[in-house]
Amino acid sequence: MDNIVIFLGGGLTALTALLIKSILSKNKNENMVGGNYRNEIDLSRLSPKIYLKEKQFGKKINATIEKNIFQPVFENPLNAKKESPTDGVHITVPGLMPASNDIWEDKSNTVYYMPNDQKPHFHGDAPHHMAMFDINEVFHMNENRYFKTVNKQIKNYRNEPGIIDFNNGKSNTPVEVWIHWRIPYDKKEYPKLIVKKNSIIWWDFTNHHNLVIVDSEENYKNNKFKKSKEISTGKELNTLVTFMNKTGTFYFACTRYGHAKNGHKIKIHVI
């Protein structure tokens, strides 16, 4: 952008140049992961492309490392919502699902929207495709415990005002997002995740892994988990939901031997 201003021979004021730079930056970052994707994934500032026309049934895209298919994906959440039997969407994000540190085949860090509860749909090789979607309980971060769901569904969480805004394609909202919980391909810690309060996070993993909430940043850094709270079920396939209804930074890890040392942990900052 600075080169453009010089080329124009100073015909733009500094203020005008800053405004143009801001506009270009905003357009570039629509539907993109904020922050440095490998170190930080900021989902608090998504700006969906709500006027984008797309094919009715979306498209499929592959992740790069294992060539796994994600389908149907949309850049416009309103188009994804039309394909959902429950009028809702969730997002699939490079570095989370696909698994850390995988990205899309086009090398972008685009955030794609997918219709909730549509069958079939594909999240790469994520194990929830082999499991039922009945959710008996949801873990509340504020109360630090599980609460039973109504009819094994999370409809009441999706009725939260912020999530309603998210499903209606508004910007800067809480999100509903999946994490494919596994040892990262590069064996480096997951990028820090930033979300807004009342976001819904799904965790997807087999019983080769577990999920604990670590009691302190120091113990998280040093992989000391004696005081950690395990929230996984021990079932063969785990599909868990955490309701991020408390602000602050939370520390999650897998405590299977050697996993955390190989990057199987994540900080989630709720704002």
**What tens digit of pLDDT does each residue of 124-166 get?**
877 765 555 689 999 999 999 999 999 999 999 999 999 999 9
- The string of DSSP codes covering 217-235 is HHHHHHT--TT-EE-----
Q: Provide the residue count of the chain.
A: 271
What is the arithmetic mean of pLDDT over 85-93? 94
Q: Which residues contact 84 (CB under 8 A, 6 or more apart)?
A: 115, 116, 117, 118
193: amino acid identity, one letter: L
CA trace torsion 104, 179, 154, 47 (10° rounding): -50
The CATH 2.60.40.420 portion of the chain extends over 31-270
Q: pTM for this one? A: 0.86
Helix (H) or strand (E) holding 45: none
Cα distance between residue 17 and residue 257, in whole Å: 53
Mapped onto helix, strand or coil, the DSSP state of residue 82 is helix
Nearest to 251 by CA among 224, 241, 239: 224
256: amino acid identity, one letter: R
Cβ contact 162:173 at 8 Å = yes
The second-level CATH assignment, the architecture, of 31-270 is Sandwich (2.60)
**Could you give the percent of the chain with pLDDT greater than 70?**
84
Higher pLDDT, 34 or 99: 99
pLDDT at 72: 95
